[in-house]
């Protein structure tokens, strides 16, 4: 729960109600379809959760979940909305509102620290904080800082392709965005 | 949410302007998409298609907003506008994209030079639009800026690499420049529906020229003093008001084929 509170502090200063905290906990189990080691909370794309008073139609209260896309054209967003709906149904919420907002624009600064660690362990160099200028991209295989950019565009919109000059392994870097 | 506010002049202008932004992105995406699986090397094939994906994403945001505006101001319960109906079911004369976006992909020089002109234009435009009084236009612009910065970087790198490259690549870039330049003026010549969108076209043009000329000069495609000559060149226009080149019909034929042949098809 401490971990979850850390994540929530990136989103809002208001402590969630008990009903909202329950939804946040469920969302933590929804993985990103393209980087499955990250949950949608690790990515920072869930911006708000509201749960209405329980009613006959919604015994657990109608949940409204606000999400924001990573990149404008990210094809995973439709899948993520669907995955959230299914997971909420699994937990007995029935229909939920999923609201998509564009502003403020998503940034990798909203990615959690544990998310960044999970990325590195998965073999993807995590983004540095946007305020850190010229931070080296560390090779996730051998931890060398001696790496080079191969292409700004990688296997998905959010990644760039790098190569390590020491161990020679190519790797994905989650771009600071 | 307003139930159904009456259609007024400014709403019509905003719808047209939003469609113009959406259409330019979509048509350029369709053109760039021709490179998919045909790029010169794998990394660049992935790069151009990633850029294309960003353009499609941005166009979807604009189409969704245009559809919302149209549906809020008209009562057509059986004929609701959607992002898909706007992309797939409008005719050539209804498309408001810049002419430069519909030109053939050509060779790699033409593709990267077009992207370079367009991305710098988009960056300047989005930087102004992020302060738009229209909250949704401002939100889409602010989000798109981040993506457009990658496009500017990538296309500038290519202009430098090919312009200041081999004799062959240099010649191809000169040819592309000669072909594309006459289509750049349309970006900065406002039409009626752009006049009240809070855009400073003079600033947009000056900023664009400064950045574009600097890269062209570094790429040995341009010498100090060429600016005046380029500035006095004849400029094509018409796309913004639906008067397109002969290529447009072919693009739409391919883009809209499925929905025209099997209306309402989903998958």
DSSP letter string, B130-161: TT-SSHHHHHHHHHHHHHHHHHHHHHHHHHHH
Whole-number pLDDT of residue A45: 95
Contacting residues of A for B46, CB less than 8 Å apart: 151, 153-155
Across the interface, of A74, A153, A177, the residue whose CB is closest to B146 is: A177
Whole-number pLDDT of residue A87: 97
Q: Is B142 on the interface with A (CB under 8 A)?
A: yes
By C-alpha distance, the chain B residue nearest A176 is: B146
pLDDT digits (tens, 9 = 90+) for B102-137: 999 999 999 999 999 999 999 999 999 999 999 999
Whole-number pLDDT of residue A5: 63
Long-range contact list for B252-259, CB < 8 A, 24+ apart? B252/B91, B252/B92, B252/B95, B254/B30, B255/B26, B255/B30, B255/B87, B255/B88, B256/B87, B256/B88, B256/B89, B258/B88, B259/B84, B259/B88, B259/B89
By C-alpha distance, the chain B residue nearest A149 is: B43
Least confident of B7-11, B60-64, B172-176: B7-11
CB contact (8 A) between residue A152 and residue B46 = no
Contacting residues of A for B132, CB less than 8 Å apart: none
* Average pLDDT value for residue range A65-91: 94
pLDDT band at A163 (very low <50, low <70, confident <90, very high): very high
CB contact (8 A) between residue B143 and residue A72 = yes
Whole-number pLDDT of residue A160: 94
Contacting residues of B for A104, CB less than 8 Å apart: 142
Contacts of B62 (CB under 8 A, 6+ apart): B18, B19, B21, B22, B25, B140
Whole-number pLDDT of residue B126: 98
CB atoms under 10 Å from CB of B238, counted, come to: 13
Least confident of A107-116, B159-168, B172-181, B216-225: B216-225
Q: Is B139 on the interface with A (CB under 8 A)?
A: yes
CB contact (8 A) between residue B139 and residue A105 = yes
Strand order in the sheet with A46-51: A46-51, A63-67, A97-100
Q: Is B247 on the interface with A (CB under 8 A)?
A: no
pLDDT digits (tens, 9 = 90+) for B2-47: 455 556 678 899 999 999 999 999 999 999 999 999 999 999 999 9
Contacting residues of B for A154, CB less than 8 Å apart: 46
What is the percent of chain B where pLDDT is above 70? 96
pLDDT digits (tens, 9 = 90+) for A23-53: 999 999 999 998 899 999 999 999 999 999 9
Q: Which residues of A4-39 are buried (b: 16+ CB within 10 A; e: fewer)?
A: eeebbeebeeeebeebbbbbbebbbebbbebbeebb
Across the interface, of B54, B146, B154, the residue whose CB is closest to A73 is: B54
pLDDT digits (tens, 9 = 90+) for B184-197: 999 999 999 999 99
Q: Is A163 on the interface with B (CB under 8 A)?
A: no
Whole-number pLDDT of residue B4: 54
Whole-number pLDDT of residue A135: 87
d(CA A88, CA B82): 27
pLDDT band at B1 (very low <50, low <70, confident <90, very high): very low
Percent helix, strand and coil across chain B, each to the nearest 5? 70, 0, 30
* Test mutation, A67, A101, A102, A175, chain B, max B CBs within 10 A: A102
CB contact (8 A) between residue A157 and residue B50 = yes
Q: Is B153 on the interface with A (CB under 8 A)?
A: yes
pTM exceeding the 0.80 threshold for the entire prediction = yes
Q: Which residues of A44-63 are buried (b: 16+ CB within 10 A; e: fewer)?
A: bbbbbbbbeeeeeebebbbb
Whole-number pLDDT of residue A145: 95
CB contact (8 A) between residue A103 and residue B43 = no
pLDDT digits (tens, 9 = 90+) for B82-101: 999 999 999 999 999 999 99
* Average pLDDT value for residue range A156-171: 94
d(CA A119, CA B167): 44
Provide φ and ψ at A46, rounded to 5°: -90, 120
pLDDT band at A134 (very low <50, low <70, confident <90, very high): confident
Kindly report the average pLDDT of chain A as a whole number: 91
Q: Is B90 on the interface with A (CB under 8 A)?
A: no
Q: Do the beta carbons of residue B215 and residue B159 sit within 8 Å?
A: yes
Size of interface A-B (CB pairs under 8 A): 66
Q: Is B22 on the interface with A (CB under 8 A)?
A: no
* Average pLDDT value for residue range A96-117: 95
């Amino acid at each position: 729960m401490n971990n979850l509170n850390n994540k929530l502090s990136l989103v809002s200063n208001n402590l969630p109600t008990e009903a909202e905290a329950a939804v946040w906990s469920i969302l933590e189990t929804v993985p990103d379809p393209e980087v499955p080691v990250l949950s949608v909370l690790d990515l920072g794309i869930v911006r708000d959760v509201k749960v209405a008073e329980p009613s006959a139609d919604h015994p657990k209260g109608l949940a409204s979940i606000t999400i924001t896309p990573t990149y404008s054209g990210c094809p995973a967003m439709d899948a993520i909305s669907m995955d959230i709906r299914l997971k909420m149904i699994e937990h007995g919420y029935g229909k939920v509102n999923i609201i998509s907002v564009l502003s403020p624009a998503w940034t990798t600064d909203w990615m959690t620290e544990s998310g960044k660690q999970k990325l590195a362990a998965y073999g993807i160099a995590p983004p540095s904080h946007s305020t850190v200028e010229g931070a080296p991209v560390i090779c996730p295989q051998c931890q060398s800082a001696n790496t080079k950019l191969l292409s700004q565009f990688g296997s998905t919109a959010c990644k760039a392709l790098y190569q390590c000059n020491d161990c020679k392994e190519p790797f994905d870097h989650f771009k600071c965005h | 949410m307003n139930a159904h506010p009456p259609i007024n002049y400014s709403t019509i202008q905003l719808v047209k302007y939003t469609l113009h932004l959406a259409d330019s992105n979509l048509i350029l995406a369709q053109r760039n998409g021709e490179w998919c699986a045909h790029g010169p090397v794998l990394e660049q094939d992935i790069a151009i298609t990633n850029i294309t994906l960003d353009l499609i994403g941005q166009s979807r945001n604009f189409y969704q907003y245009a559809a919302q505006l149209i549906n809020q101001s008209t009562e057509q319960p059986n004929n609701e506008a959607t992002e898909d109906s706007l992309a797939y079911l409008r005719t050539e004369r209804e498309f408001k994209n810049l002419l430069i976006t519909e030109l053939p992909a050509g060779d790699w020089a033409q593709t990267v030079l077009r992207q370079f002109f367009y991305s710098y234009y988009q960056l300047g435009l989005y930087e102004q639009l992020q302060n738009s009084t229209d909250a949704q236009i401002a939100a889409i612009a602010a989000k798109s800026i981040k993506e457009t910065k990658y496009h500017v970087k990538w296309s500038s790198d290519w202009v430098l690499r090919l312009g200041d490259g081999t004799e062959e690549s240099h010649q191809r870039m000169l040819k592309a420049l000669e072909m594309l330049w006459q289509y750049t003026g349309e970006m900065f010549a406002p039409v009626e529906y752009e006049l009240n969108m809070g855009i400073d076209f003079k600033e947009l043009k000056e900023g664009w020229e400064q950045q574009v000329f600097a890269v062209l000069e570094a790429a040995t495609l341009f010498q100090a003093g060429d600016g005046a000559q380029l500035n006095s060149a004849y400029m094509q226009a018409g796309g913004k008001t639906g008067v397109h080149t002969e290529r447009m019909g072919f693009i739409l034929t391919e883009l809209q084929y499925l929905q025209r042949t099997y209306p309402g098809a989903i998958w």
